[in-house]
Amino acid sequence: MYLIDPKILEVFTVIEHINVGTGIICNIILLYLVRKFSRASMGTYKYLLIIFASYDIFLTCVHGTINHQVVIVNLTTFAANMTSFYCASFTVPFTLMIIHFLYRYWAIKCPDRIILFSQRPFMCLCASFSASGFVTWYCLCVFGLTGAPSDASTIAARAEYFRRYNRNVTDSYLIAEHWKDGNFNLRPALVLLCFDSIIFGCITLASSLCILTLHHIAKAQTISAYSKYLHQKLLKTLIAQTALPVILVYIPYFCILTLPFLAIPDYGLTSACTAFNSAFPAVDAIIVIALMKDYRVGLASIVTRRSRRTTTVSSGGMTTKGASK
């Protein structure tokens, strides 16, 4: 078991609190910019951005409310505080990304299909696809893992959790005990296989749609140079958005789930995992604003306008004060 300095744990906790506040503020700003400064040429794609920003706010609230943490003891993964709901919630952004990639692919390959995104049956299908990822991960956690309060593994987890975070959480533990009494435990191994299959399946599907979209953008002959530039810009933004859940959510998830099975120490990754997770919503909004010129310029114009108003009011106050003398 890798022991981490308590001061580092405090730093991670502070980072999480900062990420929660920043995530809510940044995504509220993004929502305003999307509604205020989106061009008509973006079509229904702006609604996908609105959905994603809204869900990022929800994720931030989930993280701030649940305050989920993970510990590893004797090659066994333990987690506390509504872990099933927390983990399942963080799988939804990647299914939303796949829907975004499908939109970008159809926008260049089959533009006539874009209208489907504004039709209720297809919208329900997309919602069902995202919900299926959530439900699958949630059910695997609830029905595939253990964590009864009286189990020896739960007692060990509770003690380690208290030692590390000085909080006594008595229930809501999920335990993947790969080795018990020296014997291999098949059930958590099958759950692990399902988790990793979902992770790699989502990454593979998103990567395939991305490569196909890049190919068709390069081969497009019937669209203007500006339209091609816009497609490339939106796709680059989406690629950057997709890299975030991979780096900040899926890779940490994969490591903390797989390392105990392979008998590899986590070297403090479990303590940093939730700090990575909490950073995703905020950084996601920042990247969209930074890479989308309309939103970047729109935000700059708002800040500049308010700065000018503040300067004008301040100058007027000084003039009045001088006149009174």
Q: Which domains does the chain have, with CATH numbers?
A: 6-297 (1.20.1070.10)
Residue 321 has a pLDDT of 43
Determine what percent of the chain is predicted with pLDDT higher than 70: 89
Average pLDDT over residues 234-257: 86
The C-alpha atoms of residue 199 and residue 304 are separated, in whole angstroms, by: 43
Average pLDDT over residues 182-205: 87
- What confidence tens digit (pLDDT) does each residue in 276-313 have? 888 999 999 999 999 888 999 999 999 887 666 655 54
Q: Are strands 183-184 and 69-73 parallel, antiparallel or unpaired?
A: unpaired
Average pLDDT over residues 204-232: 87
Residue 313 has a pLDDT of 46
Q: Alpha carbon 104 to chain centroid distance?
A: 20
- Tell me the one-letter amino acid at 239: I
The C-alpha atoms of residue 100 and residue 322 are separated, in whole angstroms, by: 58
SS3 at position 3 = coil
Q: What is the DSSP letter of 249?
A: I
Contacts of 248 (CB under 8 A, 6+ apart): 276, 277, 279, 280, 283
Q: In sequence order, which ranges of 220-292 are alpha helices (DSSP H)?
A: 225-245, 251-258, 269-291
Whole-number average pLDDT of the chain: 83
| Token duo for residue 304 | 């500049």
Q: How far apart are the first and last CA of the chain?
A: 74
| Token duo for residue 257 | 């789930």
Specify the DSSP element, H or E, that contains 5. Answer: none
Average pLDDT over residues 153-165: 79
Residue 318 has a pLDDT of 42
SS3 at position 180 = strand
SS3 at position 170 = coil
pTM score, two decimals? Answer: 0.80
153 versus 31: the higher-pLDDT residue is 31
- What confidence tens digit (pLDDT) does each residue in 4-51 have? 677 888 888 899 999 999 999 999 999 999 999 988 877 788 888 999
